[in-house]
Amino acid sequence: NAGVTQTPKFQVLKTGQSMTLQCAQDMNHNSMYWYRQDPGMGLRLIYYSASEGTTDKGEVPNGYNVSRLNKREFSLRLESAAPSQTSVYFCASSGLGGTAQNYEQYFGPGTRLTVT
Amino acid sequence: GNSVTQMEGPVTLSEEAFLTINCTYTATGYPSLFWYVQYPGEGLQLLLKATKADDKGSNKGFEATYRKETTSFHLEKGSVQVSDSAVYFCALTGAGSYQLTFGKGTKLSVIP
């Protein structure tokens, strides 16, 4: 049981390049999330998907797009990377359509992205 | 909007010392409160939670009590171990919400 997996683990981009961060979960969870973690800022929600076929903006969605490909997979795309997007990105999932209040969020190991 | 304030670190303690990490919050209504832990190089894991006032969450020797009157959820452990070295995050979510609001994190280092 792998839980939440993310690829790649590390990535370096030049300003203006694009890339997609991949996330998959094998726990049959309905809800999935993308966060970014910056020093001294805690984690901030970028986008989430409450269930397959739906996506919603979080606190810091500008410069990102997401796709809920199926129940297992939720990808995050940077169309034109900027140095301000240098961060550690975490994907998370939670169970059976419940809200964050009732269902623990399970986190992946993270992707460390540097934009030069 | 919702916000979480937790004590700034880093915190360095000797093994078997008592730990307190302060957390206070601002939220409308009746939020649920969480402590997450992040070990080096890993993602976050839920440590404990409390969903209503006066609830005490506990796990692995850690405890926190939901105090509505002081809007606090302080994390405590009676005797820390080297293996407790990690970053600890206080978080909250409002009723019916999908969004967790995190504090900035407190790095704990425990030395033998």
Contact B49, B36 (CB under 8 A): no
Query: For residue A93, what pLDDT is reported?
Result: 92
Q: Which residues does chain A have within 8 Å of residue B105's beta carbon, measured at their own beta carbons?
A: 42
Residue A12 pLDDT > 70: yes
A4, A59, A100 ranked by CB distance to B93: nearest: A100
* CB atoms A101 and B42 under 8 Å: no
Query: For residue B95, what pLDDT is reported?
Result: 73
Return the closest-CA partner of residue B91 out of B1, B10, B31, B15: B31
pLDDT, mean of residues A60-87:
96
Average pLDDT over chain A reads 91
CA distance A43 to A73: 21
Residue A2 pLDDT > 80: no
Contact B73, B23 (CB under 8 A): yes
Closest CA of chain A from B66, distance in Å: 14
* CB atoms A107 and B44 under 8 Å: yes
Of A12-21, A67-76, B28-37, B88-97, the least confident:
B88-97
* CB atoms B98 and A48 under 8 Å: yes
Query: For residue A33, what pLDDT is reported?
Result: 95
* CB atoms A90 and B89 under 8 Å: no
DSSP β-ladder status, B11-14 and A111-115? unpaired
Contact B25, B92 (CB under 8 A): yes
SS3 A84: helix
